[in-house]
Amino acid sequence: MRLGVDLGGTKTEIVALRPDGTEAYRTRVPTPRTDYRAIITTIAGLVTQAEAALGERGSLGVGIPGTVDRISGRVKNANTQVLNGNPFDQDLTEALGRPVRVTNDANCLAASEASDGAAAGLDVVFAVIIGTGTGGGVALKGQVWAGPNGIGGEWGHNPLPWATPDELPGTPCYCGKSGCLETWISGTGFELTEGQGHSSKAVAAAAQAGEAWAETALLRYEDRLARALTTVINLLDPDAIVLGGGMSNLDRLYTNLPPRLEALIFGGGPLRTRVLKNKHGDSSGVRGAAWLWPVGAV
């Protein structure tokens, strides 16, 4: 049995997968995002609860909104900022008395969708989280590519390409820079820059009802997202880009993004990279965390 945990900004979810990938157990609880020790305790409690319910011990993979630095062994780049500077995998290993594999949550999304999700069977997959924050992950033949710095795919903290004068210098980001993609194309960024404080779901409903301000807001969002993803295609040229996170539920993206990308990529179209909606929804990240271990690794 493989256990996966997705440590999100608002919820922490655990799933248990059987060897064939079917789910044996799942539950979620609120994330105590301002208390590091409470996060460790919460995850350890979820693992204990799952194993007690199933009567079986499992391997554990965890997706976090950041990365563990290979040299220092401490978390960096997490937008759940209490994680930063802490030896998260070591502390969780100690709490549970077993090895734990930890990687970025976007890497988990990539692993899940490339293994048995929307991009199953494709060689090069770029997975995007556009939710509370913005992240990216790369899967090569179904395996996560984190890179020697542990930041493979972290395109969310690059600047918005081809910024217009009204987009400069951009909003300050928690990472210390300004104008990062996260501040523009995450769900949080969209609400602050274009959504007038409304959720993406509310803006989409307003646009569908014919409200001009909402349609303009979504068009501007699509333009920024297309500019951002163009750099990924120019650099990586993936077989597919899979969108995850709250903004990925805007179904219009899968119709409107491809022609925008085709017009922007180096040399022009036709565009052969597929833009796909995640198959496993909010659970894709937690499933990908479980996939970090092979079957029978306990």
- pLDDT tens column, 164-190: 999 999 999 988 999 999 999 999 999
- 48/43 Cα distance (integer angstroms): 9
Please report, to the nearest 10 degrees, the dihedral formed by the alpha carbons of residues 235, 241, 242, 247 taken in order: 80
Domains of the chain: residue spans and CATH: 2-107+283-290 (3.30.420.40), 120-278 (3.30.420.40)
In whole numbers, what is the pLDDT of the chain averaged over residues?
94
Between CA 11 and CA 191 the distance in angstroms is 20
Task: Decide if pLDDT at 254 tops 60.
Answer: yes
* DSSP of 173-216: -TTS-BSBHHHHHSHHHHHHHTSTT--HHHHHHHHHTT-HHHHH
- pLDDT given at position 10: 85
Residue 297 confidence (pLDDT) = 59
Pairwise pLDDT comparison (281 vs 194), residue with the higher score: 194
Of 283, 276, 273, give the one whose Cα is nearest residue 242.
276
- 86: pLDDT confidence band, cut at 50, 70 and 90? very high
pTM: 0.88
For residue 293, is pLDDT > 90? no
pLDDT at residue 296 tops 80: no
The helix or strand, by DSSP H or E, that contains position 221, with its residue range, turns out to be helix 212-236
What backbone phi and psi angles, to 5 degrees, belong to 42?
Answer: -65, -45
pLDDT digits (tens, 9 = 90+) for 108-156: 999 999 988 999 999 999 999 998 889 999 999 988 898 888 889 999 9
pLDDT of residue 18: 92
**What is the predicted pLDDT for the residue at 298?**
55
Torsion from C-alpha of 33, 75, 78, 225, nearest 10 degrees: -150
pLDDT given for residue 203 in this prediction = 96
Per-residue pLDDT averaged across 75-95, rounded? 95
| Opening angle at CA 202, ends 198 and 203, nearest 5 | 75
By DSSP bridging, strand 101-104 and strand 59-64 are parallel
**Range with the poorest average pLDDT among 34-38, 46-50, 66-70:** 66-70
* Per-residue model confidence as pLDDT tens digits over 212-253: 999 999 999 999 999 999 999 999 999 999 999 999 999 999
Look at residue 282 and tell me whether its pLDDT is greater than 80.
Answer: no
Q: Is the dihedral of CA 202, 205, 211, 216 positive or negative?
A: positive
